[in-house]
Structure 1
């Protein structure tokens, strides 16, 4: 996996620091990259049609756009001084997620970096409509970040080595290759995790289940997953890296192991434009990400 060359950085207004941009600069340490700075603005005051004439609204929009371009150009100038290729785009759009999708479709970047949308009450990416929409539908790899800097904490890659369909097999390979590259960028350790569920002998089961050795099923399933995990990791020269094969629901187990190893980044996959899928489809994925207190990178098979 090569370092992403074309990186779209979503700038969220005027601030003294831009964590998404700082994160993009880490990739410049490994390779020549092009950073496209993107900002979307909209002013609800423009809706006051009874107060503002169409000419006034047009003039105000022009002023808003010029002011924001002026600010974005200062960020671009800083990148130029560092010898980093860059470009700037400011969009006027009522919906931020739609503006981002449109620029992604136009530029086809290798990576999109955006700060997790947060308010003082919530930093769960699925609680905020913009991030929830992007996680489900963004065509490019999407990195949602919480902090400005990567530190010396592990990366966690969530994979499923038992899948058989072409898309999910490709997805596993993409996740591991991207994880290797990011481990190099961050100079940190890479962990991988696979979860599985087995039937349990519950009190509601009648005596007819007594002849089934559930413990043996659990052991055999664990060994099968471990063997497949080891085979997949060997293909990527990652066999010496720590890996975790754990029984339980993915939405519970993955956040737990991420917390245990103090992961700074979770990498998982999506298939198509129907949203997070595979072992991480629908509510399961949302529960995983809602419980993660770290950066999140989502990938698709066709990187």
Structure 2
């Protein structure tokens, strides 16, 4: 049985060439899952310039235009063998509307196009996709600009250096989800750890006269051993195990580009204080990746 029974796709109906529609339809067809498309409209600011009656009529014409377009997409996908439904609705608070749809439909996966935001804007306002990464209660599939409709190469990004990942089973859940997706799509599964030794606390790594270089080498050896044990446990072939030194976001972005990966599977960690303000590795990687991101 497929791990996916019900998929929720959220789109902006004004973006008629959404890559997420193609990816969601391909995944629904491969997994035999039911797909629901929620086309959410934000009230246009210009409508506020009209009087109440004229504005209401303009809003309804706008909604009906997009509903007609969505009905055409639904009929086309049904003709391709996809079990699909759709709706067009106004969303004064887009985040709240998305989370409400998730609560009501309880999908196995929420699918959405990546909403690219300039770095300057991100410095002042938390991007919508960051809010979803922090608040969405189900796995979140953010569709990037590149990649095949149905994934051919799936990369699971794990981190054996973090104690919380070892204790709460996050690494295992990441591999399980990536492996299930790969099996569903007949894709290759790769395992990756971007090892940034400088960011790991060295206080418990040793001592007794060892130099910093000795400590760094010892820590790297320990982390690589933990990574290989994880790969061995899940039967990942040696040629698909990648232990790479470097800053995580840079390593992840370069690796998926060089490997032409379709999906990178990562974990979401709840942040507090300053970390919540500046964003996590997963949140920053989102805007550097050419491929899609599946976040657990």
TM-score, structure 1 as length reference: 0.77
Structure 2's unaligned 5+ residue stretches are 200-206
CA distance in structure 2 between the aligned counterparts of 1:141 and 1:255, rounded to whole angstroms: 21
- SS at 2:169's partner residue? helix
CA distance in structure 2 between the aligned counterparts of 1:56 and 1:170, rounded to whole angstroms: 56
CA distance in structure 1 between the aligned counterparts of 2:172 and 2:122, rounded to whole angstroms: 26
What corresponds to 2:38 in structure 1? Answer: 38
Summarize the Cα distance change of 1:233–1:198 in structure 2 as closer, same or farther, 3 Å threshold: closer
Tell me the alpha carbon deviations over residues 54-110 of structure 1, each in whole angstroms, 9 at most, x when there is no partner.
x33333333333332222222222233233222222221234333222212221211
What corresponds to 1:82 in structure 2? Answer: 80
Q: Indicate the RMSD between aligned Cα atoms, in angstroms.
A: 3.6
What corresponds to 1:293 in structure 2? Answer: 290
Tell me the alpha carbon deviations over residues 213-263 of structure 1, each in whole angstroms, 9 at most, x when there is no partner.
334323322222222222222333324452222333323333333334333
Tell me, yes or no, if the aligned pair for 1:230 and 1:239 is still in contact at 8 Å.
Answer: no
When structure 1 is superposed on structure 2, of 29-38 and 245-254 the one drifting more is 245-254
Tell me the alpha carbon deviations over residues 104-134 of structure 1, each in whole angstroms, 9 at most, x when there is no partner.
2221211122222248xx6999688332332
CA distance in structure 2 between the aligned counterparts of 1:248 and 1:297, rounded to whole angstroms: 22
| 1:14 shift after superposition | 5.0
Summarize the Cα distance change of 1:197–1:101 in structure 2 as closer, same or farther, 3 Å threshold: same
Tell me, yes or no, if the aligned pair for 1:20 and 1:114 is still in contact at 8 Å.
Answer: yes
What corresponds to 1:69 in structure 2? Answer: 67
Q: How does 1:98-109 map to 2 (within 5 A)?
A: 98-109=96-107
What corresponds to 1:196 in structure 2? Answer: 195
Q: How does 1:1-303 map to 2 (within 5 A)?
A: 2-14=2-14, 17-41=17-41, 42-48=43-49, 51-53=50-52, 55-118=53-116, 129-145=127-143, 146-147=145-146, 149-150=148-149, 154-165=153-164, 169-198=168-197, 211-240=209-238, 242-272=240-270, 282-299=279-296
When structure 1 is superposed on structure 2, of 190-199 and 101-110 the one drifting more is 190-199
Structure 1's unaligned 5+ residue stretches are 201-208
CA distance in structure 1 between the aligned counterparts of 2:247 and 2:128, rounded to whole angstroms: 27
What corresponds to 2:204 in structure 1? Answer: none
More helix by proportion, 1 or 2? 2
CA distance in structure 2 between the aligned counterparts of 1:152 and 1:37, rounded to whole angstroms: 20
Tell me, yes or no, if the aligned pair for 1:19 and 1:149 is still in contact at 8 Å.
Answer: no
CA distance in structure 2 between the aligned counterparts of 1:183 and 1:69, rounded to whole angstroms: 34
Summarize the Cα distance change of 1:240–1:212 in structure 2 as closer, same or farther, 3 Å threshold: closer
Summarize the Cα distance change of 1:21–1:100 in structure 2 as closer, same or farther, 3 Å threshold: same
| 1:153 shift after superposition | 6.0
Aligned length: 283
- SS at 1:155's partner residue? strand
CA distance in structure 2 between the aligned counterparts of 1:64 and 1:28, rounded to whole angstroms: 29
- SS at 1:90's partner residue? strand
